[in-house]
Structure 1
């Protein structure tokens, strides 16, 4: 029988720094919950709002796969690999920190807030040469399908990382039901609802709720209302 865990939106950690408001699904910085350290290889899922013109100063990372998915607005990125870029809604950015990088992120709009998901995954290879990638996502407006945006394979749709992980975005109309088949035995899937309501394995999930499911080969996702959600398939042991 499938194992599950539910993280309702109002149970997340919250950090309010004035210029940054961060809702944290897993233990991060000042938020610590021993029961919410990670979900398999998924270590961080932060739902961040950055005030206009503000941002994160230069800071280091190593041996982590870091994924940024803008939801509203634009982020200005600079890093020690020489990359300078702006990422916006409809795009995805990935960094393999490997042996070590420094980077900074700022809201590129001086007036309006930027909203984005900051996601960290443990890698399956340590001390790799750091790398950066950023793409415009195709088919993100496609409805009633699981649209792959990340995988372990450079030839697949979306970005790739050093981990056997698959991310899919879903935009479902009300009452649409689809079956998700896991890519690899022993994986689990963490689902994060961006908008609306869905039902997974009998559990109703609303906006910003999280839900993990593992020890299963497949499961159904049903849209209770028009809904958008992110599905993150990761190894449970790594």
Structure 2
């Protein structure tokens, strides 16, 4: 088993006034040559966006982009569909940028901050037709059990959102003292585990809120919740680039 531990306070940080952004991997002005990516996982940003503020229209291409609001309301608009679409906590949004897409993301609230994770996964196929999708995943569906959010188009799971990569994004909420064993797709994959909240022991390492650990070269690993905990798993092929 290979492990890499990323404590919350080692992430990059950018204060733009309206945006407080913490970067697990090199992004924008924060560059750490030892933290460029974890396999096909290129970006995991932990953003807090002020009311009525957000990202104006900007382009992306050849990236699988997953957005998970944790608190507040996200409003999304792109050149595939000009209407503003709301994305709420317990919903997940996916966008395959492919040949190119223009989009805007804003805080849809007049008085509440928006908290979200934005995740970029490097696709296995370039220049695909851009697409957008979103879906609700109710909290009760991850109490003590793995709730699958996103998988590959080639995966047989019919309830998850789809992206152009052999990846799997999932969540679980564990009660204090509860244990769980995560099974990987295969030894060519690794899992980046973000502790959204709580405190948990993962293969001998104690993680607190927003700590993360990357685990690879194994079939499975064990988790024990020290307090009530919420965990996000991002399983990806361990590609190099």
Task: Using structure 1 for the length normalisation, give the TM-score.
Answer: 0.97
**Partners of 2:149 and 2:171 within 8 A in 1:** yes
RMSD, matched Cα? 1.2
Displacement of 1:68 after TM fit?
0.1
Equivalent residue number for residue 199 of structure 2: 197
Equivalent residue number for residue 104 of structure 2: 104
Displacement of 1:143 after TM fit?
1.2
Distance 1:80 1:185 in 2: 39
Instruction: List alignment gaps of at least 5 residues for structure 2.
Output: none
Q: 1:227 aligns with which of 209, 229, 237?
A: 229
**Partners of 1:178 and 1:221 within 8 A in 2:** yes
- Within a 5 Å distance, the mapping from 1:63-78 to structure 2 comes to 63-78=62-77
> Residues 237, 142 of structure 1: CA spacing in aligned structure 2 closer, same or farther, 3 A cutoff?
closer
**Secondary structure at the counterpart of residue 36 of structure 1:** coil
Equivalent residue number for residue 34 of structure 1: 33
Equivalenced residues, count: 237
Displacement of 1:141 after TM fit?
4.8
- Regions of 4+ moved over 6 Å: none
**Partners of 1:140 and 1:147 within 8 A in 2:** no
**Partners of 1:137 and 1:158 within 8 A in 2:** no
**Partners of 2:151 and 2:157 within 8 A in 1:** no
**Partners of 2:90 and 2:139 within 8 A in 1:** no
Residue 210 (1) aligns with residue 212 (2): yes
Per-residue CA distance 1:91-128 (angstroms, 9 max, x = gap): 00000000000000010001110000000000011000
Residue 171 (1) aligns with residue 173 (2): yes
Instruction: List alignment gaps of at least 5 residues for structure 1.
Output: none
Distance 2:31 2:140 in 1: 34
